[in-house]
Amino acid sequence: MMISRRFNGSMAWLLTKIAIVAGTVWATRELGVWDSPDRTTLIYEDAKCQMQPYVEKMKQKYCNVFCSVNKNSTKTWRESWIDGWNDSVRTGFIEISRMPQYCSRFTEDVQDTLNQLINGKPPAK
């Protein structure tokens, strides 16, 4: 009984996820997002223009209270997204370059732990 409930719950969740993805793909196809880059740019610009009044209202309502916005250093959404992407990629490559050091340290820790378990000696450092 418990297995069938868990299976039905996970199956319902999987079907919900599939429905959301399928609905998103269908809606973007109907809007023409997949037609051409020019069409996608037009859709993006139209959505941006329609959202602008709401964004300004939210900025006035919340940013005056919670944000300290410097007018000289504000970037467009696209520029800030690109900067964030570049920082993420840079950080990823830095961490990958440190991987040999992490693996070496992990190997040493495992070896010390096994030596301590087998020989009963504290690790030599």
Instruction: Output the tens digit of pLDDT for each of the chain's 125 residues.
Output: 445 555 566 778 888 889 998 988 888 888 777 777 787 788 788 888 888 888 888 877 777 655 655 555 667 777 788 888 888 899 889 888 888 888 888 899 898 888 888 887 665 55
Nearest to 15 by CA among 23, 5, 25, 3: 23
Measure Cα distances from 68 to 60, 73, 76, 79, 91 in Å: 12, 11, 16, 19, 27
- The number of helices, as runs of H, and strands, as runs of E, in the chain is 5, 0
Structure tokens at 116: 């301590």
Q: What is the pTM (predicted TM-score) of this model?
A: 0.33
